[in-house]
């Protein structure tokens, strides 16, 4: 679905932001790209989404070279991006006008536009959202995701989509993204919050503009030292699992949520009784 080959990117200031990036992301996969501030995450997200062009090397999405101007519309129908600050994505005062604007670029008839909008606002449970600027941050982010869904893209890049949200807003958006992946959407999730990578199938560590390491989520426990070597914490749930194991409590290392962990401990207790 997404192939990035020996891709380099330098901003006009002359400072390289990305160098030698290689990525293969399969259709339907959920990958997380984790890295500290300034590691190049947003630059990579924008290049994958075709907003920025690679300086050297190339990036293709479903076989479309993101540099190919003639395929720009096709690319927009294939991959979308949701930014950290949803306000950067709002153009019109009315939520539905904002969604319609992007759809008009696809040369759709008004009826088809209206149908798409009603379908996604229902799916995102935002039927009652009217004024874009009168929404909370979390609501604006839901509207931004709905806007991308209305484009019927198969793949969505999320650049720190929960950074401006409160804990409930973060959970809501993470739940929505996980559900989208279950429905078949390919997800590229950029974050600097290690706990957020748990939803992904595969995790890439980005540092100083290069992919330094890659591993499957199920191998997270084996990659603790690697995370530490890039000054990344372990997800809290994994930290608890490691500490419990160190104390001889045999818990299910695949637990990803507090409930799963508690269930696993409770079952261990019952089995041992
Ligand atoms: N518009 C720009 N012009 C010049 N340099 C830039 C620009 N945007 C980013 N950079 C530089 O490119 C590098 C990577 O920036 P980028 O925004 O991709 O990092 P990031 O990992 O997304 O950081 P953050 O976690 O703060 O969002 C940084 O060194 C940054 O200073
Ligand atoms: Mg960023």
Side-by-side strand order, sheet with 2-10: 16-25, 2-10, 56-61, 64-65
List, in sequence order, every residue forming a beta bridge with 149; answer none if it has no partner: none
Domains of the chain: 2-231 (3.40.50.300), 235-273 (no CATH)
Look at residue 50 and give its three-state secondary structure: coil
Say what the pLDDT of residue 272 is.
44
Q: Whose CA is nearest to atom 4 of ligand 1?
A: 11
What is the H or E stretch that residue 104 is in? Answer: helix 95-104
- Residue 209 alpha carbon, nearest atom of ligand 1: 14
Between β-strands 16-25 and 2-10, what pairing exists: parallel, antiparallel or unpaired? antiparallel
Q: Whose CA is nearest to atom 29 of ligand 1?
A: 38
| 214 Cα distance to chain centroid | 16
Ligand nearest to the CA of 39: 1
Q: Whose CA is nearest to atom 27 of ligand 1?
A: 37
- Residue 46 alpha carbon, nearest atom of ligand 1: 18
Say what the pLDDT of residue 205 is.
96
Ligand 1 pocket member 21 (CB < 6 A): no
Ligand nearest to the CA of 205: 1
Look at residue 69 and give its three-state secondary structure: helix
Compute the distance between CA of residue 103 and CA of residue 153 in angstroms, rounded to an integer. 12
Phi and psi of 257, rounded to 5°? -130, 165
The count of other CB atoms within 10 Å of the CB of residue 272 is 7
Ligand 1 pocket member 37 (CB < 6 A): yes
Side-by-side strand order, sheet with 186-191: 79-82, 155-159, 186-191, 30-34, 202-207, 210-216
The count of other CB atoms within 10 Å of the CB of residue 43 is 21
List, in sequence order, every residue forming a beta bridge with 56; answer none if it has no partner: 8
Ligand 1 pocket member 41 (CB < 6 A): yes
Give the number of C-alpha atoms closer than 13 A to the C-alpha of residue 34, restricted to the C-beta side: 28
pTM listed for this prediction:
0.92
Say what the pLDDT of residue 268 is.
52
Q: Find where tokens 């997404």 sit.
A: 2
Burial of residue 107, with CB atoms counted within 10 A of its CB: 0-12 exposed, 13-18 middle, 19 or more buried = exposed
Say what the pLDDT of residue 107 is.
82
Q: Find where tokens 């419990």 sit.
A: 244
The DSSP 8-state label assigned to residue 234 in this structure reads P
Compute the distance between CA of residue 65 and CA of residue 61 in angstroms, rounded to an integer. 7
Q: Whose CA is nearest to atom 12 of ligand 1?
A: 17
pLDDT in 10s for each residue of the chain, 273 residues: 999 999 999 999 898 999 999 999 999 999 999 999 999 999 999 999 999 999 999 999 999 999 999 999 999 999 999 999 999 888 899 999 999 998 988 888 999 999 999 999 998 999 999 999 999 999 999 999 999 999 999 999 999 999 988 888 888 899 999 999 999 999 999 999 888 998 899 999 999 999 999 999 988 888 888 998 999 988 898 889 889 988 998 888 888 888 888 888 887 555 444
Ligand nearest to the CA of 44: 1
Residues with CB under 5 A from ligand 2 (ion): 41-42
Look at residue 80 and give its three-state secondary structure: strand
Compute the distance between CA of residue 90 and CA of residue 82 in angstroms, rounded to an integer. 11
């Amino acid at each position: 679905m997404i192939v990035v080959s020996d891709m380099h990117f330098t901003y006009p200031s002359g400072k390289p932001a990305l160098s030698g990036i290689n990525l293969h992301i399969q259709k339907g996969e959920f990958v997380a790209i984790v890295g500290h501030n300034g590691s190049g995450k947003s630059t990579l997200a924008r290049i994958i989404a075709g907003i920025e062009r690679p300086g050297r090397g190339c990036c293709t999405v479903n076989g479309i070279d993101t540099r190919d101007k003639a395929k720009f519309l096709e690319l927009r129908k294939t991959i979308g991006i949701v930014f950290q600050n949803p306000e950067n994505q709002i153009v019109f005062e009315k939520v539905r006008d904002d969604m319609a604007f992007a759809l008009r670029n696809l040369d759709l008839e008004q009826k088809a536009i209206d149908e798409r909008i009603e379908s996604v606002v229902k799916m995102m449970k935002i039927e009652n959202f009217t004024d874009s600027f009168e929404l909370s941050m979390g609501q604006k982010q839901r509207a931004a995701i709905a806007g991308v869904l209305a484009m019927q893209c198969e793949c969505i890049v999320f650049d720190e989509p929960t950074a401006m949200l409160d804990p409930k807003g973060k959970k809501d958006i993470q739940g929505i993204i996980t559900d989208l992946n279950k429905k078949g959407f390919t997800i590229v999730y950029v974050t600097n919050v290690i706990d957020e990578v748990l939803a992904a199938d595969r995790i890439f560590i980005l540092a100083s503009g290069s992919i330094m390491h890659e591993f499957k989520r199920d191998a997270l426990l084996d990659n603790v030292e690697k995370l530490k070597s890039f000054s990344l914490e372990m997800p809290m749930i994994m930290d608890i699992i490691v500490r419990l194991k160190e104390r001889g409590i045999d818990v299910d290392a695949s637990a990803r949520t507090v409930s799963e962990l508690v269930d696993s401990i409770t079952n261990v207790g019952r089995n041992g009784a």
